[in-house]
């Protein structure tokens, strides 16, 4: 009896922990399962959730879904919109993605000034970070 009660309590705790996980964690689980279609609305919810610590990462991920057609149709204008939201929060990968879109005129009007702005912000954020390895595979000093 005691053993079955412990198992029931453990099951209840595990099921409620999953229910309290939130959209970011739920999206990560769907991604692990390979269900990108199910992950997208969860990522959007996380991207828009007030106080969500992973909002910028979710915004960047939604942008990449739209850029590459992961779990949705390719929509470069939507990709740029989501990258901008993440970039405005200081997400460095989003700054690079948005800057590249401006440089190439993908999803936005080609604008080298905007491209330089976002790519410059990303470079400044990464100033002082050494690359893990050079192109010949040798780690720098």
Neighbour-count burial of 52, counting CB atoms closer than 10 A to its CB (0-12 exposed, 13-18 middle, 19+ buried): middle
Helix pair angle (36-48, 55-68), 10° resolution: 140
Mind listing the pLDDT tens digit for each residue in 65-107? 999 999 999 999 999 999 999 999 999 999 999 999 999 999 9
Provide the pLDDT confidence category of residue 130 given band limits of 50, 70 and 90: low
pTM for this model (two decimals): 0.77
Provide the pLDDT confidence category of residue 13 given band limits of 50, 70 and 90: very low
Residue 131: helix, strand or coil by DSSP? coil
Q: Structural domain boundaries of the chain?
A: 21-125
Asked if residues 126 and 132 have their Cβ atoms less than 8 Å apart, the reply is: no
Asked if pLDDT for residue 133 goes beyond 50, the answer is no
CATH architecture, domain defined by 21-125: Alpha Horseshoe (1.25)
Mind listing the pLDDT tens digit for each residue in 37-47? 999 999 999 99
């Amino acid at each position: 009896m005691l053993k079955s009660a412990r198992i029931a309590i453990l099951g209840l705790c595990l099921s409620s922990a999953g229910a309290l996980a939130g959209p970011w964690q739920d999206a990560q689980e769907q991604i692990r399962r390979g269900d990108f279609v199910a992950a997208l609305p969860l990522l959007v919810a996380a991207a828009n959730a007030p106080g969500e610590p992973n909002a910028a990462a979710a915004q960047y991920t939604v942008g990449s879904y739209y850029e590459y057609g992961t779990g949705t149709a390719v929509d470069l204008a939507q990709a740029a919109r989501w990258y901008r939201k993440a970039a405005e929060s200081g997400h460095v990968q989003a700054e690079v993605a948005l800057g590249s879109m401006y440089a190439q005129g993908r999803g936005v009007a080609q604008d080298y000034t905007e491209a330089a702005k976002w790519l410059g912000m990303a470079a400044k954020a990464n100033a002082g970070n050494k690359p893990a390895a050079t192109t010949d595979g040798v780690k720098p000093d």
